[in-house]
Amino acid sequence: MRPVRQTLLAAGLTTLATAATLGLAPGAAVAAPAPRISVNWFGTADARAHTATIGGRYACGAERGLAYIEVHLGQRVRRGSITGFGFGVIGACTDDRTAGTWTATIPADEGAFRGGPATATARLVVEPNSLTETTEPLRLVPRCPRR
């Protein structure tokens, strides 16, 4: 074996040993859990009110502060698309409240949401500077009017 290769091999083994030692050392730093958000597979569409209501779950992770959900909803229709924007208020992420469910009613910008496939982009914002986002498909189910 050439001396250069032996040196590289020795350096590589030393690096691996150091990384393994640091990873297994007692009291090694563990990354704080990140905030998460998800969207339910189904929502409701109210064609008369021109709105859709969707929901999901959130987890604050290690973040603490005022928290809310921003939702962009889009749906393809025959001649174009319907879009809307809304908020879900969840209050605050505290030591006692770190996860839960959310709902948001989204008014359509123009037209009306109908039953069928749609796409939602939901953002969990924990003030002052934490943001996590997901874009997920869902199905809107028509809301039956009560008589």
Does residue 94 fall inside a structural domain? Answer: yes
The pLDDT mean for the chain works out to: 84
Residue 25 burial (CB < 10 Å; 0-12/13-18/19+)? exposed
Mean pLDDT within 7-27: 53
Look at residue 41 in the predicted model and tell me its pLDDT.
96
Top-confidence residue, 31 or 86: 86
Parent domain of 95:
36-142
Does residue 72 fall inside a structural domain? Answer: yes
Top-confidence residue, 53 or 16: 53
CATH of the domain at 73: 2.60.40.10
Share of the chain above pLDDT 70, in %: 78
| pTM, rounded to two decimals | 0.74
118 closest CA partner among 141, 135, 139, 142: 139
Does residue 108 fall inside a structural domain? Answer: yes
Element (H, E) at 89: strand 80-93
The total domain count for the chain is: 1
Does residue 58 fall inside a structural domain? Answer: yes
Does residue 1 fall inside a structural domain? Answer: no
Look at residue 77 in the predicted model and tell me its pLDDT.
86
Q: Cis check for the bond before 128: say yes or no (omega within 30 of 0).
A: yes
Does residue 102 fall inside a structural domain? Answer: yes
